[in-house]
């Protein structure tokens, strides 16, 4: 896919590469190669035919921009791609060309390609969550007893501990990582049903082809074609949306605590980071800005997925296409936020003295006594933080242990 300059600003180069036009077309060609090989494995095609088709399944052979333009008239990117693939195979073996795309349909190709791309996208999210949860756990354990002013309805409230606050940022991310894995296990499945989902062209060998093809691609074998059964797929997308919301919560707190008048936290500076074109004194929280932008855009992406679920009969008209266009945006936003917050947390500046000064400014409202009392008043939060962090550390260790 091609992203605007402003989309690029809010995401990562790695995630852009996952959903790049050429990457999606290559994933579609992987589908065609795997389909031919699976059919050869069960005896529907000669192995030589599968080999010839495989030799043509290299995106470098094709004009991706021309395919995208042609897809607007064809109604599907798969139609011009299969046409060009068939021509490429025919140049090597006319008989083999008759077996290109045998038993498949356009949605099979595109859905499976999106599943393959999404698997890579999810790995990027998982890697980013591994880093961010590890860093937040470290910060939370270092500051379980650091007093900080809690704020409710944007106003000074009571004293809590910074470690307890960090644990509140961390816990939703640990849950998100768990739930993304659970949703992925169900949603990352092969799509293969043929014209109306019945595998009618392949015939009795259909289930065997599905099993073999899923194994080749390393995907779950579906119970049946899910052309218009989008529930598991949409659930996965919504988990990404919830993750973006949790990242936005962290960004909101970070940006408020980094305000010049508060100055309890600060993002790392230097090397052109967070500067102003007009005001040299500014230290802008750019990571929080990117994560907040992602969280702001996410509800619309998630709502589109839900709105597109009412797909007509055996093939959606307009709604499936809307879902396809919206899907990458969820991952671009989420990874942009995750990448930015990892940068911020890696060099986060924590001013515990300023936290005490901010507490003392409101101490007559909060508690009588000396500044040392702040630590005592933070102890209930400290105890809760220590308890919560023990469980979170165990959860993070479990997620990091190979299965």
Q: Which residues are catalytic?
A: 276, 315
User: Length of the chain in residues, anyone?
Assistant: 403
Question: 366 φ, ψ to 5°?
Answer: -100, -45
Joined tokens for residue 349: 């500046």
Joined tokens for residue 212: 């073999």
For residue 42, with 0-12 CB atoms within 10 Å meaning exposed, 13-18 middle and 19 or more buried, which class applies? middle
**Are 228 and 249 contacting, i.e. CB atoms less than 8 angstroms apart?**
no
Residue 278 is given by DSSP the state: S
Question: 236 φ, ψ to 5°?
Answer: -60, -45
Cα–Cα–Cα angle for 366, 367, 371, nearest 5°? Answer: 110
Residue 369 is given by DSSP the state: S
**Are 302 and 241 contacting, i.e. CB atoms less than 8 angstroms apart?**
yes
> Read out DSSP for 257-281?
HTSTTT-SEE---BTTBT--SS-TT
290: left (phi over 0), alpha (psi -120 to 50) or beta: alpha
> Read out DSSP for 69-114?
HHHHHHSSTHHHHHHHHHHHHHTT-HHHHTTTTTT--HHHHHHHHH
Helices (H), 147-195: 162-187
Question: 147 φ, ψ to 5°?
Answer: -70, 140
Find all residues with CB under 8 Å of 134, minimum gap 6, and list them.
Answer: 396
Find all residues with CB under 8 Å of 363, minimum gap 6, and list them.
Answer: 369, 371, 374
Cα separation, 396 vs 403, whole angstroms? 14
Q: Which of 161, 168, 169 is CA-nearest to residue 143? A: 161
Find all residues with CB under 8 Å of 166, minimum gap 6, and list them.
Answer: 136, 139, 140, 143, 385
């Amino acid at each position: 896919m091609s992203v605007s300059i402003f989309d690029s600003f809010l995401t990562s180069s790695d995630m852009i590469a996952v959903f790049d036009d050429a990457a999606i077309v290559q994933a579609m060609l992987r589908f065609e190669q795997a389909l031919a090989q699976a059919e050869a494995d069960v005896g529907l095609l000669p192995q030589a035919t599968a080999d010839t088709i495989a030799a043509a399944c290299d995106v470098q052979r094709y004009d991706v921009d021309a395919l995208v333009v042609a897809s607007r008239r064809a109604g599907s990117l798969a139609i011009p791609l299969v046409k060009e693939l068939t021509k490429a195979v025919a140049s090597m073996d006319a008989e083999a060309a008759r077996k290109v795309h045998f038993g498949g349909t356009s949605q099979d190709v595109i859905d499976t390609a999106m599943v393959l791309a999404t698997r890579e996208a999810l790995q990027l999210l998982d890697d980013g969550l591994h880093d961010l949860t590890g860093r937040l756990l470290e910060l939370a354990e270092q500051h379980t007893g650091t007093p900080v002013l809690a704020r409710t309805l944007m106003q000074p409230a009571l004293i809590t501990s910074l470690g307890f606050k960090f644990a509140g940022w961390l816990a939703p991310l640990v849950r998100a990582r768990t739930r993304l894995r659970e949703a992925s296990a169900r949603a990352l499945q092969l799509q293969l049903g043929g014209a109306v989902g019945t595998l009618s062209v392949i015939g009795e060998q259909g289930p065997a082809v599905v099993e073999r093809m899923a194994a080749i691609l390393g995907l779950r074998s579906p119970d049946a074609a899910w052309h218009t059964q989008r529930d598991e797929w949409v659930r996965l997308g919504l988990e990404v949306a919830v993750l973006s919301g949790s990242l936005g919560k962290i960004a909101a707190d970070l940006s408020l605590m980094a305000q010049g008048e508060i100055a309890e936290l600060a993002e790392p500076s230097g090397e052109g980071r967070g500067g102003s074109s007009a005001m040299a004194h500014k230290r802008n929280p750019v990571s929080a800005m990117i994560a907040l932008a992602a969280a702001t855009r996410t509800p619309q992406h998630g709502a589109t997925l839900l709105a597109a679920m009412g797909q007509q009969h055996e093939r959606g008209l307009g709604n499936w296409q809307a879902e396809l266009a919206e899907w990458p945006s969820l991952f671009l936003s989420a990874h942009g936020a995750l990448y930015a917050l990892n940068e911020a947390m890696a060099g986060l500046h924590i001013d515990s003295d300023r936290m005490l000064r901010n507490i003392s400014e409101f101490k007559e409202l909060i508690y009588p006594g000396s500044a040392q009392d702040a630590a005592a008043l933070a102890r209930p939060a400290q105890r809760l933080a220590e308890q919560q962090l023990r469980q979170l550390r165990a959860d993070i260790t479990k997620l990091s242990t190979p299965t």
